[in-house]
Structure 1
């Protein structure tokens, strides 16, 4: 190879390298920027979920009237609708706010042996849950949290006046499962235990002022429909 041929080859190689560099720079200038993909901790689903349940409220019949020997209280059970709203922080950890309202007829089954009155109860409950994700469409969970029981619209039976039941803050435990038909819809079964022991008082026409403890401790058994957004 003579000197002229070598110079020609070096010139061609240099031109090729320059052409390649210009093409790469043009590609960088014309290619649209790629947006970063945010990590989704909930497998592509919204973190929000709602449930609508039919809820059976089964009370623990226990309580007392101060100063009346052999007194005992009982409370009526009820069936109510319930709405709860859940937010998933991760696939496993969620917070659930439980909303519903019910009432209880209060009866004295011991020394007095008469109905006392009726009180409505709004018991919003917030639980922190752990959801198990290793069973496919079957998704069990456990939870624990706090309940605030607000008594309102209290009314008395004949012979009683000025019935008042104190509001109460207590603990709540929960266990249940969802069975998901698809990514969004499922059926739910849920059991909660609310620890509710409060103070009450009323005036009686014959016995005078009465007061005592009402240990309700309801067991809430619910079944319904789940929707994950």
Structure 2
């Protein structure tokens, strides 16, 4: 009487076991959930900085048309001749600066920099004391950067690129200054005209961000710009009643030292990356 029940029970147990085994095989055949890692970066960035621009290059002054009197110690009176010992000093300027960046990934970014600066130009050396004039300068830079992210919140970077320096709104000094000692004659002279050309140069950069949150940080930055604009000035001499025309070739090469705030946005604080198996 119990045999049929025993057979049925055994068959049921066998079916359940096979079903469990099949379910296990099916689960093994399904792809396992991907391991998730994260990269902490935002693709867009704005930096607001205060920047000190410190010119650090040399200036050479030339007699453009041979109109500078040829006196002892000055190789002048010759068209294109250099006025030895003469130079120009450009003043230091502190400006607001805004930078826009785009990150291709957590390491590589491109940054564009724009600012506004005004410099006063004063003659030095054998032409010392002449207020040459002043100029506004719009330096526009484009730099490629590599950011080091293995130090946590401290994220240093290096960059290199090009700078286009555009002078505008330049004005002559129009200041009366005696040139008797400098040029060997008496008279009072003024800079009546001033023209400054644009220049394109190489820019290098080092700096770091310290990220307080994934979106907000503080920034310290140092740049060197190789800018070489050429200027032309007309100086009037009252004793000779004539204009003196000079050309100034400059390797202004300013240092730009900056501190400011970094703002990053445009993505999640952590962006999931699905690992493939």
Determine if the TM-score, normalized by the shorter chain, exceeds 0.5: yes
Mapped to 1, the partners of 2:137 and 2:84 lie a distance apart of 28
1:58: which partner in 2? 54
Query: Gaps (5+ residues) in structure 2?
Result: 20-36, 64-82, 175-189, 238-242, 266-277
2:124: which partner in 1? 109
Which range is displaced more, 115-124 or 200-209?
A: 200-209
1:43: which partner in 2? 39
Cα-Cα RMSD: 2.7
Higher relative contact order (CA 8 A, sep 6+): 2
Mapped to 2, the partners of 1:69 and 1:174 lie a distance apart of 34
How do 1:1-229 and structure 2 match up within 5 A? 43=39, 45-67=41-63, 68-113=83-128, 114-158=130-174, 159-206=190-237, 208-229=244-265
Query: Gaps (5+ residues) in structure 1?
Result: 18-39
SS of the equivalent of 2:142 reads strand
Runs of 4+, deviation exceeding 2 Å: 42-46
What's the TM-score, normalizing by structure 1?
A: 0.81
Contact 1:96-1:126 within 8 A present in 2 as well: yes
Q: Deviation per CA, 1:115-168, whole angstroms, max 9, x where unpaired?
A: 100011000101000000100000000000000000000001121122111100
Q: Deviation per CA, 1:164-201, whole angstroms, max 9, x where unpaired?
A: 11100000000000000011000000000000112110
Q: Deviation per CA, 1:10-37, whole angstroms, max 9, x where unpaired?
A: xxx9xxx9xxxxxxxxxxxxxxxxxxxx
Mapped to 1, the partners of 2:117 and 2:125 lie a distance apart of 25
Contact 1:118-1:155 within 8 A present in 2 as well: yes
Contact 1:61-1:73 within 8 A present in 2 as well: no
Q: Number of residue pairs matched?
A: 204
1:25: which partner in 2? none
SS of the equivalent of 1:134 reads coil
Contact 2:57-2:254 within 8 A present in 1 as well: no
What's the TM-score, normalizing by structure 2?
A: 0.67
Mapped to 2, the partners of 1:186 and 1:200 lie a distance apart of 40
Mapped to 2, the partners of 1:115 and 1:162 lie a distance apart of 12
